[in-house]
Structures are given as C-alpha cells and as structure tokens.
Chains A and B, each alone.
Chain A
C-alpha cells in the first residue's frame, strides 16, 4: 500500500492535467457545439512552441533568437508558458474562422473540419520539427526528485499537479465570478438568447475558441516533460480529453474535474501493476460508467445523451 503513494501522485498529476485538457475541450463544445478533434494537435503545438522558446537545439533556427536563449532558464520557461499558449490561441482563432461555415449544419461537419485541421497541424509540425522525439527541458527548481521516507518522488509531477489544480481553480473563478464567465456560460446554455441580449456572439465564439486552445497548449507544455514531444502526441492527448468529457458529463465543470482526476488515478494505479495496459483501464472505466449512466457522472439530461 505504502509503495503506491508515488503512483497515486503520478495519477493525480496526470488526472488534473486531463481535467485541464478536458475543460478547454468542453468550453468549445459548450459554446460552439463542436467536438474539436484538433484539440490534441493544439496541445502538441503548445508543447513544440514551448520547446522552441526553451531550447536552442530543439528550437527554430532563427539567428536573432540567440540573445534570447542566453536568458536564464526560469525566465524562458515563464515566457514559454505565456507566449506559447497565446500563439496557440491565435491558431485557435484561425480555426474558429474556418468553422463558422459549419454552424447550424450537421455537427458532423464541424467534427470533420477539425479532423482535417488536426491532420494539417500534425503535418505542419512534422514539416518544421521532424518526427524525432524531444523532451522539454525544465528549470532546475522543478526538476529532479526528493526522498521522503523510503520513497523517491518526482518534483516535476508534484509541480504539474499543483499547477494544474491552480489553473483549474483560476478557471473556475473566471467562469463563476466574472461577468465574462457569466456570458460564456450563458453562451453555452443558450447562444440565441445571448445574441438577443445584444452580445456579440461572433466575438464570443472567437474568444472562447482561442481560450480553449490556449488551455490545451498549457496542458501540452506541462505534460511535455512527462510524455515527451512527438508529432503524434496530439492523438494521445485528444482521446483522454474525450474520455474525461463523456465520463464527467458534457457541460459539467466539476464533472470534468472529477472524471479527469478519476481517470488519472485509475491509469496511475493500474500502471503500478500492469504498466503496459494502464491506458486501457480508462476506456473500460468509461464503458462501465456510460453503459449504466449515459449522461456521464454529473451531466444533465440533454439531447446529446441518446
């Protein structure tokens, strides 16, 4: 039992990151009613951009970047955490502009468009960075490990868990304690009414998509030192996001957080016993829950349920 504590921490870190990823995904489903299959690619793009902003060897070969790379690692890391998601947010805006034509048609078209976008993003990444695997270097302060009792803990995973939890907290405050959050929630509930009340729905959608994309990028940057950065990492990321949303219930903030944490813990704990098969547990959990409760753990009854 005692030996399981590191696995619990790893699972919790993974779970909170899944929750963060899922929340960005859910904001987009809520306001746009689009399943963003490109979410994983935006996640990967965030990680690659952070790599470019962190490391000269895995970065972009621009000569004028030289003085920048001389900055201390901590400063570069903070810059990467801000600039990376901002750039991915811009890409998200571009994607939303393309998506506009599919609103009001079969939701399948939105899904397919984002699948096409995911292909394009993945191939673009391959074109720029190649197919080799990179690891995002992190500042010394959050790398390494420490020994507590008989066990070694990874600093980074604890940092990842705390960071993700803090992001989720900030997101909750933003959605529930600010007027912008109120409009977003209203937009997810009834976009027609939001428009009727005089809000600029087009701008709201653009903003929410950018915001969701930026959240994906943040999750990608935090996850990068754990998972490594490969062009196909997007698929590895988008699937847990689906699972979290379906398991938690579409539209429920705490449902997604609970589901994310649960999925992370299940994957982390099965990894203690069956390393190879741990990811499978997440789908089995999903099937088990959804078979008996189609709307997910905390979802409200909706047309999506059937």
Chain B
C-alpha cells in the first residue's frame, strides 16, 4: 500500500472523487443497468463495514473472524436505542457507534496481546459469545425472531428534516456517511498512526523493540474498527427494518473476510470496496441463474486464494506496473535508439 506522497497527504484524492462521483450518481443509473435501489443501499452499508474491517485485516494484519458479531451489536443497539431511549436518527446512530466501539474495546482487552492464528481463534470465540447472547436473551433481542419494526428515522438537520423511508433517501444518508468514513479512514491510515499499524503487520516484534506499545495500538485499532462496524450496523438495521441474529453468525463473519480479501484489502485501500461490489453483483447475477450461487462464488474465492491472494486490487496493480514497466522499457529503448538515428 504505497502511494505517492501527494496522495498520502491529501484529504481528497482523485480516486475518492471518482468513487464519490460514481456512487453519488448511483440512484440515477442503477435501475437502467438492470439492478434495483435497495442493492445500492446494501452495497453502501457493506462498503462502510468492509473499510472499517480492513483497518484490522489489511492494515494491521489481524485476521478477525468475528466481525459479524459487531455488525449485529450495532444493529441491535440502533433498534434498542430507538425503542427504549430516544427515536432520533443521530442519537441512535451515535449510540450504535459508541456501544459497538465500547463492546469492541472490552473484547479487545482479551485479544490485543494475540496475533496470527491465535487472534483469529479468539475472535471466533468472542463473536460466538455475542452470537449466543443475542440468540438466547429473548427479552431484549427477540431471540431467533430478532428485533422487528425498526423505523427509518427522519434525518433532522436543525432547520429542516427529510424522510428516508424510501431506498433512495436511505442511500443518500449511507452515501454521506460513506464519504465521511472514507475521508477519515484515508487520513487515519496515512497518518503516523497508520504507519505504525502497517509496521505491526510487517513485524510486530520489531515495532515493539523500537519502543511502541504494540498492545495499545492493537487495542485502539480493534476498537476503532468496531466503532465503524457499529455505524454500518446501525444503517443495516434501518435498511432491513430490523435486527437479526443471522448476520452475527460465523458464516457472515467469514463473508466479510472473503469480501475484503477478494477485492484486495491487503494491497489497497479501495480493495474492500471492489470486493463488496463484486460479492453483491455476483449474488444477483449468479443468483439469477442458480440457487447455489454461493458454491460458485466459493470456488472462485478458493481459486483466487490459490493463485492470486492479493485479490482484484493485486491483479490491477500487476497490470498497471507491467504497463509502466513496458512503457519505461520502451522509453529506454527509444532513448538509446535516438543517437543512432541522429547520426
């Protein structure tokens, strides 16, 4: 994940502008390419989730296999805050972010001194605890039925407010939050803090010996990642108009890893975004032909891990660097050839 210095110090990069333009106009063209508005909402929410998740997987090299649990916690918190505390959009979203971040922070106390496979195993155990609580604490979470009838609260902007009952409205709320998340995460991952995270990914021991408190950094990044996940969870509760336990299962936790990796979260900031789009498009396109689209998607994923674990972003990067190399070679050849011609 090396970029030009210009890019890493910028708040808004050209890639962001392209992405914002593309996603900002999505409601106008999504139906003309044969898709539907709700898909846009779903993609937007999962992109926020995947970008937050990639803080751990791609930047810090921490394979959390239990992040679905935090998405669920965000969704439940949103619903419970709406039913029991104050049905205000900003308050409920903030509650989802803060509570998920807090629970993530507490979980991270058990996780932050682990790495590699042990980290993955412990995240599975932690996520299963939350999964069980959500599925059995029927009085609060509704158990297997989940929380039903979560409303899409109107967006209050002081002087004015508008409704997000329809999918386009909700899409623009999610889009606005996506823009904010992207800019914040871009700044974060390109700050000195982000550099330490990348260093931890490369060699944790060395970072410790240099004098950084690795455990503290891992704790903070896990908490932050959970907070972003909580935001996605709150939006997800509105999109689904409910909060259900199935997203907290191990399988969904695996799916987010799959999306992030298939897009190339290891090598690119934008990898997770590609991965999410690919997943949902594959679901709709393959799903139109076969009930068991996940089987084919799984096979594709297995092949990708075998042959190109850097994902789509990795393939793209290779193409670009090969073209650049070819161009450089070409220039080198022509500069050698020129004196010949001049003679």
A interface residues (Cβ-Cβ under 8 A, vs B)? 35, 37, 98, 101-102, 105-109, 111-113, 115-120, 123-124, 126-127, 232, 235, 238-239, 242-243, 245-246, 276-277, 279-280, 283-284, 286-287, 290-291, 294, 304-306
Residues of B within 8 A of A306 (CB): 113-115, 118
Interface of B is mostly: helix
Q: CB of B258 within 8 A of chain A?
A: yes
Which of B63, B124, B261, B294 is within 8 Å of A123, CB to CB?
B294
Q: Is the CB of A246 within 8 A of B125?
A: yes
Residues of A within 8 A of B294 (CB): 119, 123
Report how far A277 CA is from B134 CA in the complex, Å.
11
A98-B132 contact in complex given A123-B294, A304-B118, C-beta closer than 8 Å? no
Q: Mark B99-134, 1 if CB is under 8 A from A, else 0.
A: 000000000001001111110111011101100110
Residues of A within 8 A of B133 (CB): 280
Report how far A234 CA is from B227 CA in the complex, Å.
30
Q: Is the CB of B254 within 8 A of A115?
A: yes
Range of interface residues on B (Cβ < 8 Å): 35 or more
Q: Is the CB of A287 within 8 A of B305?
A: no
Q: Give A290's nearest chain B residue, CB to CB.
A: B122
Q: Mark B296-326, 1 if CB is under 8 A from A, else 0.
A: 0111011001110100000000000000000
Q: CB of B25 within 8 A of chain A?
A: no
A305-B124 contact in complex given A112-B305, A277-B132, C-beta closer than 8 Å? no
Which of B117, B118, B299, B307 is within 8 Å of A101, CB to CB?
B307
Which of A102, A235, A290, A291 is within 8 Å of B250, CB to CB?
A235
Residues of B within 8 A of A116 (CB): 258, 298-299, 301-302, 305
* CB<8 Å pairs between A and B, sample of 25: A35-B117, A101-B307, A108-B61, A108-B120, A109-B305, A111-B117, A112-B257, A116-B258, A116-B301, A117-B298, A119-B295, A119-B298, A123-B295, A127-B292, A232-B251, A239-B124, A243-B125, A276-B136, A277-B132, A279-B132, A283-B129, A284-B129, A290-B122, A291-B110, A306-B115
Residues of A within 8 A of B117 (CB): 35, 107-108, 111, 304
Which of B115, B128, B254 is within 8 Å of A37, CB to CB?
B254
Q: Give B305's nearest chain A residue, CB to CB.
A: A113
Which of A115, A287, A305 is within 8 Å of B258, CB to CB?
A115
Which of B121, B129, B302 is within 8 Å of A113, CB to CB?
B302
Residues of B within 8 A of A98 (CB): 302, 306
Report how far A117 CA is from B125 CA in the complex, Å.
21
Q: Is the CB of A107 within 8 A of B298?
A: no
Closest 9 CB pairs of A and B: A119-B298, A123-B295, A116-B302, A120-B298, A116-B301, A113-B305, A280-B132, A101-B306, A283-B129
Report how far A286 CA is from B309 CA in the complex, Å.
32
Residues of A within 8 A of B305 (CB): 102, 109, 112-113, 116
Q: Mark B39-77, 1 if CB is under 8 A from A, else 0.
A: 000000000000000000000010101000000000000
Smallest CB separation, B265 vs chain A (Å): 11
Report how far A35 CA is from B120 CA in the complex, Å.
10
Q: Give B301's nearest chain A residue, CB to CB.
A: A116
Report how far A7 CA is from B334 CA in the complex, Å.
83
A305-B299 contact in complex given A116-B305, A126-B292, A279-B132, C-beta closer than 8 Å? no
